[in-house]
Amino acid sequence: MAEQSTVFIIDDDEAVRDSLSWLMKSAGLLAETFASADAFLNDYREDRPGCLILDIRMPGMNGLELQSVLKERRYRLPIIIISGHADVPMAVRALKAGAFDFIEKPFNDELLLGHVQRAIEQDRHRREDMAALYQWRARLDTLTPREREVLDLVVAGASNKKISGELGVSTKTVEAHRARVMEKLQAESLSHLVRMVISAREG
């Protein structure tokens, strides 16, 4: 599918971000480096998958601030916080604010790469789910109001007879609506239809 995942590295220390980029490359991952949070924000587009490695202590906008900006913009890129040992309280705050993980300098490369892999995986899943959801919503929008009513009653477990009673139409008409709904939503079976409706609600 679409684009390959990228590891976005933000650290004010050039050696650190360069060495991280080298480490990612050695593991076969694409990496892009930024010297500041602002530089990243100027460059990044939401549709680019991957994860973020963020130094919590930086001049200008620090890691925590960037995290809240991303949250405001509804960018859901997973964030791995890196920090020196004295920054534990800040790291805890970052985690509470929804960071994916937190790792102390200097890094254990296996550990860091493991986190990065998992973060990329999570991001990919999320993006697939989102795509499915958008597709579903697009299909749902093709239903007429009457078909929506029939769909809601079907998912609620009502029989055709009951639906015809509720809507004041014949059973035959109900069956015709139902067939249109199944077709428009590309549902293979009743159970498939119900599952899709429920997962779309949860998303």
Partner 1 sequence: MQRQLFALLLFLFLPLAQASQPITIGVLSHRGDEATLAHWSGTADYLTEVLPDYRFSIVPLAFEEVTPAVEGEKVDFILVNPAIYVNLEVRYRVSRIATMRNRWGDDAYNTFGGVIFARAERYDLNSLSDLKGGTLLAVNESSLGGYMMALREFKAAGIEPYRDLRDVSFAGTHDKVVMAVRNGRVDAGTVRTDILERMAEEGQINLNEFRIINEQTGEDFPLLRSTRLYPEWPFSKVRHTSNLLARQVSVALAEMPEDHPAALLGNYAGWTIPLDYQPVHDLLQELLLPPYQYSRQFTLLDVWQRYWAWLFSGLILLLIMGGLTTWVLRLNRELSHAKQRLEQRHALILDSVADGIYGVDTQGNSTFVNRAMEEITGWKADELIGKNQHYLLHHTRADGTPFPGQECPVYHTFRDDKPRYVDDDIFWRKDGSSIPVEYSSTPIRDDNGKVNGAVVVFRDITERKKAAEEARQHQMELAHVSRLSTMGEMASGIAHELNQPLSAISNYTHGSIRMLKSGQEGIRRELIEVMERVASQAERAGEIIRQLRRFIRKEEPERNAVDINQLIRELVNFLQPELQKAGVELQLQLEQGMPLLWAHDIQLEQVLLNLTRNAIEAMQELPKSSRRLLIRSSVLQTEVEVLVEDSGQGIDEAMRESIFEPFITTKTQGMGLGLSISRAIVEDHGGTLLLDSAAGQGTRLRIILPIEQRGA
Interaction of residue 22 with partner 1, rule CB under 8 A: yes
Instruction: Report yes or no: 83 and 106 within 8 Å, Cβ to Cβ.
Output: no
92 binds partner 1 per the rule CB under 8 A: no
Measured in whole angstroms, how far is the alpha carbon of residue 42 from the centre of its chain?
A: 21
Interaction between residue 23 and partner 1 (CB under 8 A) = yes
Residues 6 or more apart whose CB falls under 8 angstroms from that of 144 comprise none
Min dist. Cβ of residue 143 to partner 1 (A): 53
Taking contact as CB under 8 A, which single stretch among the options 24-32, 136-144, 176-184, 191-199 is the one that binds partner 1? 24-32
- Does the protein bind partner 1 through residue 105 (CB under 8 A)? yes
**Which 25-54 positions form the footprint of partner 1 (CB under 8 A)?**
25-27
Q: Looking up tokens 């100027």, which residue turns up?
A: 42
Residue from the set 36, 41, 69, 84 that interacts with partner 1 by CB under 8 A? 84
- In degrees and rounded to multiples of 5, residue 82 shows phi and psi of -115, 145
We find the least distance from the C-beta atom of residue 131 to partner 1, in angstroms, to be 33
Helix (H) / strand (E) containing 36: none
* 16 lies in the binding site for partner 1 (CB under 8 A): yes
If one asks whether residue 15 binds partner 1 (CB under 8 A), the answer comes out as yes
CB 107 to partner 1: min, Å: 6
Residue 176 binds to partner 1 (criterion: CB under 8 A): no
DSSP string, 41-105: HHH--TT--EEEEEESS-SSS-HHHHHHHHHHTT----EEEEE-GGGHHHHHHHHHTT-SEEEES
**Binding stretches for partner 1 (CB under 8 A):** 13, 15-16, 18-20, 22-27, 57, 82, 84-86, 105-107, 109
